[in-house]
Structure 1
Amino acid sequence: MLEVSDLHVSYGAVEAVRGISLSVTPGRVTLVLGANGAGKTTTLRGICGLLPIRRGVVTLDSNQIGGMSPHRIVRRGMVLVPEGRRVFAPLSVLENLRLGAYTAPRSQFDADLARVFELFPILSDRRSSAAGLLSGGEQQMLAFGRGMMSQPRVMLMDEPSMGLAPAMVDSVLNSVRQIADSGMGVLIVEQNADVGLEAADDVVVVARGEVVFSGPADVARSHSSVVRAFLGEAALAETQPRAEGR
């Protein structure tokens, strides 16, 4: 279980994240939702060690990981799937997956690879293809698979639907759900509320680096401030009861 309490992260003198708290439990998807500049990606980078934490506590299975270097955090059981997928384009699919397994026991490689290929059969079919030749959706699946090869208990995902064709978004969302259903905890950042809420169990909404809503996804879907900010006034009207007698 990942627990984040009173997280503060700065870029120089600018405090971009101001006291964010959240939790991620096995088998559930926690969505961090917010507009551009709200502090979503900064939160992920602080949690996984890519940015220094000014204040706050980050624990994984009750062990303090806040302030650790990223490679040590990966070894402890948490991995980040970055925005834009960041696959190694000239390398093959299989070589990308091998790199993901760098911190994992070599004896587990075949079993981990089989698990990734079972979840993403297209990667098995294209294991010898250069990653740069895959479609955007296939590259996102490869990024997920590469993360899984490190044997994480918690996976962080930054904007996995960004830049994908609409036809591929549902497939990627289904992959997010399958990863969580395998028992892994998932923390996902999305700007697209419609996309994120489809996959989420729990939601944390941030604005200006602070939490403005935290609760179950079904509550977030009907919460007026969340709907108004991210889904628009038309969606808010749909959540209101119709007037009787008119």
Structure 2
Amino acid sequence: MLEIKDLHVRYGKIEAVRGVSLDVTPGKVTLVLGANGAGKSSTLKAAAGLEPPVRGSVRLDGDDITRLAPHKVVRRGVVLVPEGRRVFSPLTVAENLRLGGYTAPKQAYDETLARVHEMFPILADRANGAAGLLSGGEQQMLAFGRALMSQPRVMLMDEPSMGLAPVVVDSILAKVREMADSGIGILMVEQNADAGLDVADHVVAIARGEVVFSGVAGDARSHASVLRAFLGEAALAGQ
């Protein structure tokens, strides 16, 4: 289990995250909702070792990984799928996957690659093509596959549906559900709340850097604090 407790992240005088606490359980999707600037991405970056918090802790199965370097966080089994996919466009699909599995021994690499190709057949079909020539949805599959190559126990996903056509979003988020069902814990930031709620087990809503709701996905759709996280008090009062 990944445990984030009383996390505080600051950029200069701006406190972007103020006391966020949440858990990520194996085989479950924890969805983080909130307006732009609420502190969602900063929470993921802190968990991935990319943004050292000023206070609080990140623990994996009880071990403190709060201030480990990002590559050491990956070796522990926590990997970030970044916003905007960030594939290496000039490299081939196969080369992108190879970079994701750089820590794996040969046998484990081959077995993991076979599983990735089974889950995302398009990556096998386009293995020798440049990653930059893939469609947006295919690049997101490559970003997932690259992360899976590190054999993660926890995947941190930042806006996986961003910029994708509505017809593609459902298939991408269905893959998120499939990865969770394989035993991986998923912590996902997603602006498409309706689609995200369809695959989530647990929901955390953040507003102004603080958790305003934490509960099962079935309760989130009608909860006032979740609406406030997106719309603000004034908009909610006018509903």
Do they fold alike, i.e. is TM over 0.5? yes
Q: Write the distance in 2 (CA, Å) between the matches of 1:40 and 1:164.
A: 20
Deviations 1:59-102 (A, max 9, x none): 01111100111000000010000000000011111110000001
Hey, what does 1:106 align to over in structure 2?
Answer: 106
| Superposed displacement of residue 129, structure 1 | 1.0
Establish whether residue 52 from structure 1 lines up as the match of residue 52 from structure 2: yes
Larger radius of gyration: 1
**Correspondence list, 1:206-225, <5 A:** 206-225=206-225
SS in 1 for 2:54: strand
Gap runs ≥5 in structure 1: 237-246
SS in 1 for 2:46: helix
**RMSD of Structure 2 on Structure 1 (CA):** 1.4
Deviates most, 38-47 or 104-113 = 104-113
Provide the residue aligned with 2:43 in structure 1: 43
Q: Distance in 1 between matches of 2:223 and 2:16?
A: 25
- Report the alpha carbon displacement of residue 215 of structure 1 after superposing the two structures with TM: 0.5
- Structure 2: stretches of 5+ with no match in the other structure: none
Which digits, 9 at most, give the CA deviation of each residue in 1:215-245, with x for residues without a partner? 000011221332465489xxx9xxxxxxxxx
Q: Secondary structure at the match of 1:53?
A: coil
**1:126-149 Cα shifts (integer Å, max 9, x gaps):** 111110010000000000000000
**Scaled by the length of structure 2, what TM-score is found?**
0.94
Q: Secondary structure at the match of 1:114?
A: helix
- Under a length normalisation based on structure 1, what TM-score does the superposition of the two structures give? 0.92
d(CA) in 2 for partners of 1:162, 1:79: 19
Partners in 2 of 1:7 and 1:230 — Cα distance?
21
The aligned runs of 1:126-137 (5 Å cut-off) are 126-137=126-137
Check whether the contact 1:29–1:185 (CA below 8 A) recurs between aligned residues: yes
Matches of 1:21 and 1:99 in 2, distance apart?
32
Q: 1:231 to 1:10 in 2, by over 3 A?
A: closer
Shift in Å, 1:32: 0.7
For residues 167 and 231 of structure 1, what CA distance do their matches in structure 2 show? 25
Aligned residues: 233
Specify the alignment match of 1:244 in structure 2.
none
- 1:225 aligned counterpart, secondary structure: helix
Indicate the residue corresponding to 1:241 in structure 2: none
Distance of aligned partners of 1:29 and 1:163 in 2 relative to their CA distance in 1, 3 Å threshold: same
Distance 2:205 2:225 in 1: 10
2:26 equivalent in structure 1: 26
| Map 1:138-177 → 2, pairs under 5 A | 138-177=138-177
